[in-house]
A and B are shown apart, each in its own frame.
Chain A
Amino acid sequence: MERAGIPGVLITALPDLAQRVGANRIVAGVRMPHPVGDPSLPLEKERALRRRIVETALKALQTEVGEPTVFIVAKSGP
């Protein structure tokens, strides 16, 4: 998709691997079976976490990068 010119952001729990194989914009997700969720949290908190992750992804899409770059999600919400 990037070769076609569409910027993408990959949300994954394995950001190091993603970086090594050349994904350009990467957001570190929670865990492999639930990259944008955390079943150990109460629903409200889980949803807030998911929102922070996706917001980080949107920020990554608006950031110029020269090489595979990992964006870290802030620990607690804005």
Chain B
Amino acid sequence: MAKIRVVHYLNQFFAGVGGEEKAGTPPVSRDGPVGPGKAFQEVLGQRGEIVGTVFCGDNYFHEDLERTKREVLDLIAGYRPDVLVAGPAFSAGRYGLACAHVCLDAVQRLKIPAVGGQHPDNPGVGLCRSQVYIVVTGETTAGMRQAITTMAELAWKLAMRKTLGTPEVEGYLPRGVRRNVFVGEDGAERAVKMLLQKIRGELFTTELPLPTVDAVKPPLAVKDLKEAVVALVTESGIVPKGNPDHLESAQASKWIKYDIRGKADLTGEEFMSAHGGYDNRFGNEDPDRLVPLDVMRELEQEGRFKQLLNHYYVTVGNCTSVESGRQYGKEIATELLAQGVQAVVLTGT
């Protein structure tokens, strides 16, 4: 590969078309670099060429997402790139999400690597970070030069299939990939060393960063439970016997809802556990031990709440990523809201 072929994705603003008033601009392509792409080209020098720039208005992109993604991908594919670069989008939300969608399509459909540049809080990060290399940027364009240099180097290495260093060294957000490395000291020695550093109040770098969790403000309590529709939701993998919809025992790819109208409880004849993370014997014997339908029906008949929702919602939490969990929660919430649900009883294993 003499020179790598790069396509650059921008929004209408960075492409120089205009601001908010031009946010309805449909996708367009131009040969060669545009706007910040010129700085990219400088960093790449003789190693590569920005063969084309594709840009789209921030509003147009999201108005009909599937249509826009197709249009943008077609324009990108026309240039037969070795790598896609998108942004940097800094903390711009619509732009960041658009970059994330375009990068994911490049990875999944064109099978080429993609590099973004975003502030870690940009919503685009959550959408694509496991599959896209996102260079960490500041919140504003003040860090443009630095971001572009890091992104260009990374794009070149990826297109040349070079071995990458750690995210800290290369400047991108960790994708959640673990790689084995050889080090001089064994685990016990390293752990004791870190402990001593911690006791002495010195800085140390953990080898196992705990995932950061986003706090959700507690919603207000249910005012009048007697008038409330309540739903049962579970990550315990309780499904109809035989698992007809093939819910995965780990790393679930979906959630499913099952009709419980007219059922007084969940019996082992009709239901089973598809979860791969705990001993299923007890749940297979009596699934009420995981989804307490029998007691919920009893309380419903006693008028403790108005009605139990006609379906229960299930997924499997076993090794399922927080990102997926968040997505399933959001989708289930949309359904629950549409059905007037005011409270959820969720069982977890």
Interface residues of A (CB under 8 A from B): 1-14, 18, 20-22, 24-25, 29, 32-39, 46-47, 50-51, 53-55, 57-58, 61-67
CA distance A53 to B345 in the complex (A): 11
Please determine whether A11 and B215 come into contact, CB atoms closer than 8 angstroms: no
B296: chain A residues at CB < 8 Å are 54
8 Å CB contact of B347 from A1, A11, A58 = A11
Answer yes or no: B285 CB below 8 A from chain A CBs.
Answer: yes
8 Å CB contact of A36 from B214, B222, B225, B292 = B292
Please determine whether B294 and A50 come into contact, CB atoms closer than 8 angstroms: yes
8 Å CB contact of A2 from B219, B221, B236, B285 = B219
CA distance A3 to B329 in the complex (A): 9
Q: Please name 11 further chain A to chain B contacts, defined as beta carbons within 8 Å, in addition to the given A1-B336, A10-B347, A54-B292, sorted by A numbering.
A: A1-B332, A4-B337, A6-B219, A8-B343, A33-B279, A33-B282, A35-B236, A35-B349, A57-B345, A61-B221, A62-B222
B236: chain A residues at CB < 8 Å are 35
B59-92 vs A, CB cutoff 8 Å, 1 = contact: the mask equals 0000000000000000000000000000000000
CA distance A54 to B290 in the complex (A): 11
Please determine whether B221 and A50 come into contact, CB atoms closer than 8 angstroms: no
Given contacts A6-B344, A9-B344, A50-B294, contact A37 B218 (CB under 8 A): no
Q: How many residues of B contact A (CB 8 A)?
A: 49
Given contacts A12-B347, A36-B288, A39-B285, contact A4 B334 (CB under 8 A): yes
B292: chain A residues at CB < 8 Å are 36-37, 50, 53-54
Please determine whether B295 and A47 come into contact, CB atoms closer than 8 angstroms: yes
Answer yes or no: B2 CB below 8 A from chain A CBs.
Answer: no
Select from chain A the residue with minimum beta-carbon distance to B344.
A8
Please determine whether A64 and B221 come into contact, CB atoms closer than 8 angstroms: yes
- Can you list 26 contacts pairing A with B, beta carbon distance less than 8 Å? A1-B233, A1-B346, A6-B336, A6-B341, A6-B343, A6-B344, A7-B218, A7-B219, A7-B222, A8-B345, A10-B346, A10-B348, A12-B347, A13-B349, A33-B279, A33-B280, A33-B282, A34-B283, A37-B282, A39-B282, A50-B292, A51-B298, A55-B299, A58-B304, A58-B345, A62-B221
Answer yes or no: B330 CB below 8 A from chain A CBs.
Answer: yes
Select from chain B the residue with minimum beta-carbon distance to A35.
B347
Q: Which of B74-120 contact A (CB under 8 A)?
A: none
B35-78 vs A, CB cutoff 8 Å, 1 = contact: the mask equals 00000000000000000000000000000000000000000000
8 Å CB contact of A50 from B219, B278, B295, B332 = B295
Given contacts A11-B348, A39-B289, contact A61 B225 (CB under 8 A): yes
Return A6 CB to nearest CB of chain B, in Å.
Answer: 6
Answer yes or no: B213 CB below 8 A from chain A CBs.
Answer: yes
Answer yes or no: B216 CB below 8 A from chain A CBs.
Answer: yes
